[in-house]
């Protein structure tokens, strides 16, 4: 009887243990991890860093010197401009400028043709705005040179000279691939000393061009 009682007690313990184990909650499967968010798309600027400007304008010219008439002789004429360069920073560009101006200092005189080839720096104080100013330095090729109120020059009447430029303008719709640009510039050709037909010379001769131009910008 004692063995039978021990056997029954052991079976009861096994049965109770099984019931307790069955009552325990089943382990909850780990939640599937949410997919990692996609990395933010890098916004690319559709504009190129490189740009070209071509324009036409109208300006006034004046050639003067310390010994010439203080008022000088000013006339007007057409001008052309081609600029090309690249954007170094959001506020600064570097480029090359080729500008051409033509004017007459007398009604029947040959036109004074001046071609400027210059390195330029263009600065935008506010990179989200269209306003800019520019400055540059290079060389000017002056042809058919004529000094007002002075004796005739000794030929050839073409000379190369140190040239400077400064100006300011505005670009409309500057974020577009094609944009409209309006600007004004002052080109200075420091001719220095020129020789007359009688072999005397005039010193510190300066040729000035003031231009207002309209151009198309392509980026």
| CATH number of the domain to which 181 belongs | 2.40.160.20
Contact indicator for 48, 217 with CB cutoff of 8 Å: no
Q: pLDDT at position 146, please? A: 56
Residue 21 included in any domain: no
Among candidate residues 203, 201, 202, 206, the one with its CA nearest the CA of residue 190: 206
Q: pLDDT at position 42, please? A: 46
Residue 44 included in any domain: no
Q: pLDDT at position 182, please? A: 94
Q: pLDDT at position 9, please? A: 60
Residue 24 included in any domain: no
Please spell the DSSP secondary structure of the chain, one letter per residue.
-HHHHHHHHHHHHHHHHHHHHHHSPPPPPPPPPPPPPPPPPPP--SS-SEEEEEEEEEEEEEEE-TTS-TT-EEEEEEEEEEEEEEEEETTEEEEEEEEEEEE-SSTTSPPEEEEEEEEEEEE-SSTTSSEEEEEEEEEEEEES---TTSPPBPSP-EEEEEEEEEEEEEEETTTSSEEEEEEEEEEEEEEEEEEBTTS-EEEEEEEEEEEEEEEEEE-
Q: pLDDT at position 95, please? A: 94
- Structural domain of 116: 50-218
The CA-to-CA distance between both ends of the chain, in Å, stands at: 106
Q: pLDDT at position 106, please? A: 54
Q: pLDDT at position 204, please? A: 78
Q: Which residues contact 39 (CB under 8 A, 6 or more apart)?
A: none
Residue 13 included in any domain: no
Six token digits for residue 49:
């860093």
Residue 40 included in any domain: no
Residue 35 included in any domain: no
pLDDT tens digits for range 192-212: 776 666 666 777 778 888 999
Q: pLDDT at position 151, please? A: 53
Among candidate residues 182, 75, 166, 152, the one with its CA nearest the CA of residue 118: 166
Residue 11 included in any domain: no
Q: Considering the entire predicted model, what is its pTM?
A: 0.68
Phi, psi dihedral angles at 162 (to 5 degrees)? -70, 135
Residue 42 included in any domain: no
How many domains does the chain contain in total? 1
Q: pLDDT at position 212, please? A: 92
> How far is it, in rounded angstroms, from Cα 64 to Cα 207?
7
> How far is it, in rounded angstroms, from Cα 153 to Cα 193?
11
Q: pLDDT at position 43, please? A: 42
Q: Mean pLDDT for each consecutive 10-residue tract of the chain (219 residues)?
A: 59 57 52 55 58 90 71 73 91 92 61 84 89 93 62 58 92 86 91 68 80 91
């Amino acid at each position: 009887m004692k063995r039978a009682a021990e056997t029954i007690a052991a079976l009861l313990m096994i049965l109770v243990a099984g019931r307790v184990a069955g009552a325990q909650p089943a382990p909850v499967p780990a939640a599937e991890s949410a997919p990692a968010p996609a990395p933010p798309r890098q916004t690319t600027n559709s504009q190129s860093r490189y740009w070209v400007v071509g324009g036409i304008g109208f300006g006034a010219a004046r050639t003067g010197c310390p010994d010439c008439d203080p008022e000088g002789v000013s006339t007007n004429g057409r001008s052309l401009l081609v600029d090309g360069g690249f954007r170094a920073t959001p506020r600064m560009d570097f480029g090359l400028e080729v500008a051409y101006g033509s004017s007459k200092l007398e009604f029947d005189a040959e036109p004074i043709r001046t071609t400027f080839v210059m390195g330029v720096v263009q600065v935008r104080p506010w990179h989200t705005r269209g306003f800019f100013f520019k400055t540059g330095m290079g060389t000017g090729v002056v042809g058919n040179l004529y000094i007002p109120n002075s004796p005739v020059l000794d030929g050839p009447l073409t000379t190369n000279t140190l040239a400077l430029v400064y100006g300011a303008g505005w670009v409309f719709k500057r974020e577009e691939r094609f944009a409209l640009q309006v600007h004004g510039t002052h080109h200075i050709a420091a001719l220095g000393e020129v020789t007359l037909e009688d072999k005397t010379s005039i010193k510190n001769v300066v040729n000035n061009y003031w231009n207002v131009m309209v151009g198309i910008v392509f980026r």
